[in-house]
A and B are shown apart, each in its own frame.
Chain A
């Protein structure tokens, strides 16, 4: 019979094998970074611009500008552009972030040339036809109205407003009426001012063949780089008073709960240890919050905590959808768990387990060429590369219970936290 009463020996976790990346600049200043893996048949390209919400003159302009890049050029209609990508089985995605905006395209490498030519053309020559703009805004407005029915959205928006201040672009308040007031000229102006070669980075990975590279070099050289640099605007954060806030949503079947405050940025010396501390509290399935509030009490399907590092700031947040009858208990228990981490050292056994989990989790962030490229894209924004993972893993491995205790005391003062509920 197989002996199952003792666990197999565990092999120590290793350092990640970082894939080498190559980097060069186009004459117009575009930064090209790529990781080539000839074993793949697919490649991915992300075109990243310094064109996020942070830079928009009014709500929705940045996301509209990015999403309208497939709205047509002088040479191709929106339908022709969609048809070309569909024909070659390529998928394109538009993402407007707080600071960066990006287009991502994934395609079979053998069809790289036509899809890349089209991609470059739509970025350089977007004309934002009025008809396409109207269609986009009308449908997005309806999508927004649907989103407003979700307590999770209401809680998240309120949390952003509190932590950044309602005037800060990171809070990004949107009303349904905003969709009615976007002008074509504003969108075009935004494209001209922000979607250009300056500050643009192209991330490529997968089978980045010679054809892929030559096509990128040829086609993206046409992207202009404006002479006049726009100064980066500075917006101060104006956070609200910490405390409890409630958003009312009639007939909500659950309560959306957000608890948090400012967090720790990737380039902060405390980052690795904070990541570890956060994992203990709410960063994995066996976390203290999950063990207590889901597995012991059954108040929720899931409760997580996470840290988000942003170029101008950061935040740290606990999120859960909670049984309406047990919301107050869930909040109490959450603060009890925070308090425990501020007063009692994490037992060695638990700490070792979390270290291993987090180490494994970081290895998963670097699992394969596509993941490594995604990780690298994020790190480059902080003038780092994936070698940061070697340092993070080293610091996590050597962290002591006292390190975490000190950090919990420093960063998790309950008096500095916002507690947001959205429900009836």
Chain B
């Protein structure tokens, strides 16, 4: 169906009003006033993630995130001040970024800015803190990846799908040995290179006027010198030319699983939005195609999902399924292949498309309920290159028509663009 059929469809998205400024030292500052809360969320995004790591010292960006709580120039005990102010804070690291956030009563926003500015201005490098956090992160590694059924799938899948790009390792790192390898010198160099105002975005959402927020940010961050570091050059993945396969046997899980992944566009590309719509048509909700066809009717899978990674650099489109007891792994793969063929060959109905439009509209509205989300999204979209996406992203979906969606599917779902992992349970006859 041509796009013209859809002109009467509107994403009825409310605006998130915000103001943006850049300090003299390069720190980008964004503020959204939200009077529905007595709190503010102060969110600092550093433009560094596991994709900036060296291949022999993976997991470092995330380990470093832990060390950011170990004391700064004037403040040995970051957490204590957050807690005294009635606040709460945490952080996370992804392939692309490291994000720190504090939720604090609006009247105490200066405490948050003081803490964040002090650790941006200078960190205390302590061998003891490093030794302890290495151990903590190794326990985190076990808790999230090794002591969970199916927990190590991405540790196997990433190096299959990527051969060059640093996305070939997980944020936690390739193995606990890499984390053991981190030295204090690495910590200092990493801090100097990446933790600077001109490599960060500060987004605030909550009960504060924009001018006041900007004035306070200038007060606390204005004197921190920039580093003028050269832009990171991330080795990009060459186009995949042959399909890849991996069989992982003897896993302590009750059911076989299959992962089939395809390279797709980066977060800011049109291809991303098309792929996101494709994944919604295939698997968003119990009326979506994969659930109805493969779980409900054919009963080949106990669960199946299609989703996209949303990485900044070209990411992955993923099919992941857990097999029903009597399903063979090849049969499962054929079923996924068939679902892909059908997607390409048979029409997308107007109702399916309308459904996706409603879902996207609802998802954006649900996301805007929470001011912490808004602060995180403002920082992320700024990083992506266009902070206005917070209000215009819906139109990126709307601009796609069925021919474009089909074309994206044809481009993504090529056999030579795929990597397939069979993750098999322990064979009881072969202990």
Residue-wise, chain A 72-114 has the 8 Å CB interface mask toward B (1 for contact) of 0000001100110111111100000000000000111011000
* A7-B121 contact in complex given A79-B292, A298-B132, A301-B140, C-beta closer than 8 Å: no
**Shortest Cβ distance from residue B123 to the other chain A in the assembled complex, whole angstroms:** 13
Q: A79 contacts which chain B residues (CB < 8 A)?
A: 286-287, 292, 296
> Is there an interface contact between B86 and A86, defined as CB atoms closer than 8 Å?
no
Q: Interface range on chain B: under 10, 10 to 19, 20 to 34, or 35 or more? A: 35 or more
Q: Across the interface, do A146 and B253 meet the contact criterion of CB distance under 8 Å?
A: yes
Interface assignment of B355: CB less than 8 Å from any CB of chain A: yes
B75 to chain A, nearest CB (A): 8
A14 to B39 CA separation, bound complex (whole angstroms): 11
Give A278 to B88 CA distance when docked, in angstroms. Answer: 17
Assess the A138–B302 pair: CB atoms within 8 A: yes
Chain A residues in 8 Å Cβ range of B252: 149, 250-251
B92 to chain A, nearest CB (A): 14
Question: CB of A344 within 8 A of chain B?
Answer: no
Q: B365, A42: Cβ atoms under 8 Å?
A: yes
**A40 and B369 form a contact (CB under 8 A):** yes
Question: CB-CB < 8 A to A142: which residues of B?
Answer: 254-255, 302, 322, 324-325
The residue from B220, B253, B370 contacting A2, defined by CB atoms under 8 A apart: B220
Which residues of A sit under 8 angstroms from B111, Cβ to Cβ? Answer: 7-8, 10
B118, B135, B143, B284: which has the most chain A beta carbons within 10 Å? B143
**Could you tell me the distance between the alpha carbons of A322 and B75 in the complex, rounded to whole angstroms?**
30
Among A4, A88, A353, contact of B74 (Cβ-Cβ < 8 Å) = A4
- Interface pair B143/A360, CB less than 8 Å apart: no
Q: Are A139 and B295 in contact (CB under 8 A)?
A: yes
- Asked if B139 lies at the interface with its beta carbon under 8 angstroms from chain A, I say yes
Closest B residue by C-beta to A146: B149
**Which of B81, B86, B88, B140 neighbours the largest number of chain A CB atoms within 10 Å of its CB?**
B86
Query: Chain A 1-26 against B: per-residue CB contact (8 Å), 1 yes, 0 no?
Result: 11011011011011011000000000
Contact of B80 with A254 in the complex, beta carbons under 8 Å = no
Q: Tell me which residues across on chain A come within 8 A of B117, comparing CB atoms.
A: 2, 4
Q: Which residues of B contact A4 (CB under 8 A)?
A: 73-75, 114, 117-118, 121, 220
Contact of A298 with B292 in the complex, beta carbons under 8 Å? no
Which of B85, B88, B299 has the most A CB atoms < 10 Å from its CB? B85
Question: Are the C-beta atoms of B287 and A364 separated by less than 8 Å?
Answer: no
Are B118 and A286 in contact, with the CB atoms below 8 A? no
For residue B314, which residues in chain A have a CB less than 8 angstroms away from its CB? none
| Interface presence of B377 (CB below 8 A) | no
B359 in contact (CB, < 8 A): yes
Against B, the Cβ 8 Å flags (1 = close, 0 = not) of A207-244 are: 00000000000000000000000000000000000000
Interface: A300 (CB within 8 A): yes
Residues of B within 8 A of A251 (CB): 252
A150 within 8 A of partner (CB): yes
Residues of B near A111 (CB, < 8 A) are 358
Interface residue tally of chain A, by bracket? 35 or more
Which A115-129 residues sit within 8 Å CB-CB of chain B?
Answer: none
Name which of B121, B223, B254 has the most chain A CB atoms within 10 A of its CB: B254
Among A261-269, A366-374, A410-418, which stretch is in contact with chain B?
Answer: A366-374
Across the interface, name the chain A residue whose C-beta is closest to B79. Answer: A286
CA distance A39 to B288 in the complex (A): 32
Give the residues in chain A near B75, CB-CB below 8 Å: 4, 7
Q: Which of A1, A41, A85, A284 has the most CB of B within 10 A?
A: A41
- If A39-B36, A79-B292, A369-B36 touch, does A10 touch B359 (CB 8 Å cutoff)? no
* Interface status of A145 (Cβ within 8 A of chain B): yes
Task: Determine how close the nearest CB of chain A comes to the CB of B356; give it in whole angstroms.
Answer: 9
Q: Are B105 and A11 in contact (CB under 8 A)?
A: yes
Residues 18-70 (chain B) with a chain A CB within 8 angstroms: 36-39
B325 near A5: Cβ-Cβ < 8 Å: no
> Any chain B CB within 8 A of the CB of A186?
no
User: Which residues in A have their C-beta under 8 angstroms from that of B351?
Assistant: 87
Given contacts A4-B121, A39-B36, A364-B103, contact A89 B359 (CB under 8 A): yes
Chain A to chain B: the 8 pairs with minimum beta-carbon distance, closest first: A360-B86, A89-B362, A298-B135, A11-B107, A145-B254, A82-B286, A86-B285, A83-B287
Chain B positions within 8 Å of A, measured between CB atoms, are 12, 14, 36-39, 73-75, 79-81, 83-88, 103-105, 107-108, 110-111, 114, 117-118, 121, 131-137, 139-140, 142-143, 146-150, 219-220, 222-223, 252-255, 284-288, 292, 295-296, 299, 302-303, 322, 324-325, 351, 354-355, 358-363, 365-366, 369-370
Given contacts A86-B284, A142-B255, 17 further A-B contacts (CB under 8 A): A7-B111, A13-B105, A42-B369, A82-B287, A83-B287, A86-B288, A110-B12, A138-B299, A145-B255, A146-B253, A253-B142, A286-B80, A321-B139, A357-B84, A360-B86, A368-B36, A368-B370
11 contacts between A and B (CB under 8 A): A4-B73, A8-B108, A40-B369, A42-B369, A85-B285, A86-B287, A86-B359, A138-B324, A142-B302, A143-B302, A251-B252
